[in-house]
Amino acid sequence: MPPDSRHSVIVDLRAHFDRLEQGGRRRDRRVIPFEVPAIDAHLPDGGLATGALHEIAAAGNAAHDVAAATLFAAGILARSSGPVLWCLKAHDLFAPGLAGVGLQPDRVIYAETGDEKTVLLVMEEGLRHGGLAGVVGEFTRLPTTAARRLQLAAETSGVLALALPRGIAGGKPEDRADESTPATTRWQIGAEPSGPRVVEGLGRDRWRVALTRCRGGASAEWILEACDAAGRLAVPADATDRLAAATSPIFAIAG
């Protein structure tokens, strides 16, 4: 995208955010709980802290894993209130899919920038305004310096920042456990076989949710039922005695 176009995009967004701040109150909520006791009890803040950067990657490059990671992020935002800025290079999001986990189209501002450098610029600009419920950015890879800037912007405004790296996950969650990141948490989401059928031929989707880094806490992993129409996850009834329902650390403590 030419520099003049980038500048125009940012100017337009600033004007839009100014209107949001004038017309709405800044959010007081500091934590978004998962409403799954095993997860909330495991996280140091009792939920996902706002005013912080969190990374959410797919467990692999297959479409079902990428979709699971995207819907995991959308479900988090569905459990908050207020507008959401979603930054990406091109139009490749399926809005009905986001609505299916509770993130309705009228809450989402799409910023299609044409290149990843502008995604970072627009995401950082959005995080500097307190009138948003959250800011999402999709990247091939998030450089450490850029991640630090996003973390600082989120801390300053109190807005939730979700970074969705694409095409780099692969392998096992512990493969990236030692990588340095300023993010408060790092997650890896993968699709699992669905549970028992709730209607003929169809069961609720399941995800393997791995918390691979957690500032001030330990990593863990769960098998969960995918987000419902209100963005809520659930522990499968038949998994309560399995590893996925446990909160014992499976990777090294991450700071």
Structure tokens at 126: 């959005």
In whole angstroms, what is the distance from residue 153 CA to residue 87 CA?
Answer: 15
pLDDT per position as a tens digit, 18-55 = 555 544 444 444 899 999 999 999 999 999 999 999 99
Rounded distance between C-alpha atoms, residue 21 and residue 229, angstroms: 28
Q: What is the pTM of this model?
A: 0.80
Topology, domain 3-22+30-245: Rossmann fold (3.40.50)
Stretches where the chain sits below pLDDT 50 are: 22-29, 169-175, 177-178, 241, 243-255
Backbone angles phi and psi of 3, in degrees to 5 = -55, -40
Task: Give the tens place of pLDDT for each residue, 171-203.
Answer: 444 445 446 788 999 999 999 988 665 555 566
